[in-house]
Each structure stands twice: as structure tokens, then as C-alpha cells.
Amino acid sequence: MGEPLRTFETPDGRTLAFAVWGDPDGFPILALHGTPGCRLMRWPREELYADLGVCSVTHDRAGYGRSDRNRGRRVVDEVADVRALADELGFDRFAVNGGSGGGPHVLACAALLPDRVVRAICDVGVAPFGAPGLEQDAWLAGMDPENVKEFGWALAGEDVLTRELRALQQQVEERTRVDPSTILQDFDMSESDRAELARPEVAQILRESTFEWAVNGVGGWVDDELAVLQPWGFDLADISVPVLVRYGMTDVLVPPAHGEWLAANVPGCIVKINDAAGHLGADPEHEIAENARWLSAGIEPDGSHTHFPARN
């Protein structure tokens, strides 16, 4: 069993909560959860990380779970928290990975911590909103109407977003109590994503995480939505470490156009495209192992674009 809750104080005086899974002496990988999320969003068969020889560290990004809010934060502000967490654990060099709303934060670490980050994975990450990224219509194109509605709340401002996310959080908690696989039942998700939501391991993750990410309110979720729609605070062109960009062609939460934009704009990145998978991948244990091996053992970037089918 890992350590599901540890805390420390960041240099700016906030509490940051984290968890450690796998081999404490293994290769360190700092995993950045999506939007919404928390430190408990790890694969529940925890021996997988030890078997891979990695020390997987998750943390509640600011405002989520047991971590203090950093109101008004930008994407770039996650870098200071990641640096502080690595310092707390004595990690000189480490890898970072993360998906969805965590993806931009991974890219920030890759850009601004080249002396610490050895490799990074951005999995189904969103592209920047507006120039120099995707303009609003292109950014929203292919996104499920429920997601479009949510970002509409963010564009309406913090007060509207906070009110609506409080109501949405109550709804997802009610669904999770009854059947976690229905948490996104209003979304027209791909067959692949519905199959992933039906996994018992995913049900466990959702039962543990859904209540925890908002244990102190929806401030982290609010700040994430606002931050991703604003300038991120760093230049992707500054990325010099190896980055793997992954995305699925049937994703209606972060449509393929986002992955395509990142593939074209993250310097020297490797790109892996799953033609059948959506937002949740297709074979979690295989994908975790593949990612961990790339991050820790290394496959030199060759700029290739790889298409592969979902695994059965």
C-alpha cells in the first residue's frame, strides 16, 4: 500500500497534499491529474508501479483535495508546486506526465524545468485557447455539448462558473454513490470510453476521487477552467526536453484537433495517436507500463507519428 496522504508547506505558505505509490526507491514520476481530479487518481492495482520500478507521486493540484487554493493561478504557476514537491522528496531529476486538464501543466514543467525534468508525457491534453493556439470555434469543434456548456460558464466569469460547478459537483457525487459508470451519462461518448467507464478499477478510482477532489469546495476546478482559457504564461517553443503527445481519435472531451495542434507545436515531440480510443484510453495497464518505460528507460524522440488501434 502506498502513502495516500502526505502534506508539506510550499515556499509561498500553502499546504500541498500528495501521495506516493509504487517503489519508493524507483524512478520518480510526478503525475498531474486532470480537471477535476486529485491525488487518488492512480491505478488501484498499486503493485503495477512497483513492478515497473517507478515511484509514482500524485498530488492535489492547488485548490483540489487537501491542497490550499491559489486563486487566480495561471497554468505556469503549477511549475513552482512541482519544483517544491520534488524538493520535498529529494528528487533531483524526474519525469512528469498528465492528461486532459493536467496536460498544459505538464508542458509548463517541460518548458521551465529542463534541469529537473528528463521527459514528459501530455496525454489527451488541451491546446491553448485563442492565438497562438486554436481560436474559439476550432477549440470547441467536436466537443460534446455538455463540455461546451461548461466552458461557456467559464467564459461568463468566475461567479457563474462557481455556481454551476457546485451544482454539477453535487450531481456527479449523487451518480457516483449509485453507479460511477454513469458519471458522464449525459455525454455522447465513444464506445471505447463507455467500456473504460465500466471497468471495476475505474469505478474504484471514481468512488475514491469524486468526493475527495471537492472536499474543500470546487475552487480547484474553477481555477483550472479559468486558467486553461487564459494565456498559459510560458512559451511552448521553450520546451527542450523529450515530450510524448498522445491523443485518441474518438475523444469528445478534448477533441483530436487539440492533439493535432500540440503535435505540430511542441518542439521535437513524439506523437502517438489511438484511432479507436477516446478520452480514457483503451488498455490502462498496458498504457501505464508503456508510459513508465518510456519515461524511465527512454526512447529517443524521432519525430514520428504513430497510429495504433485500441487493444482488446
Q: Which of the two residues, 228 and 302, has the higher pLDDT score?
A: 228
Q: Which domain holds residue 15?
A: 3-308
**16-41, pLDDT tens digit by residue?**
999 999 999 999 999 999 999 999 99
* Averaged pLDDT, 44-70: 97
What CATH number should be reported for the domain holding residue 105?
Answer: 3.40.50.1820
User: Predicted confidence band at 2 (pLDDT cuts at 50, 70, 90)?
Assistant: confident
Q: CA-to-CA distance for 171 and 55, rounded, in angstroms?
A: 34
pLDDT score for 1: 59
User: Predicted confidence band at 302 (pLDDT cuts at 50, 70, 90)?
Assistant: very low
For the chain, what percent of residues have pLDDT higher than 90? 94
**233-255, pLDDT tens digit by residue?**
999 999 999 999 999 999 999 99
For the chain, what percent of residues have pLDDT higher than 70? 95
Q: How many domains does the chain have?
A: 1
Q: CA-to-CA distance for 91 and 125, rounded, in angstroms?
A: 25
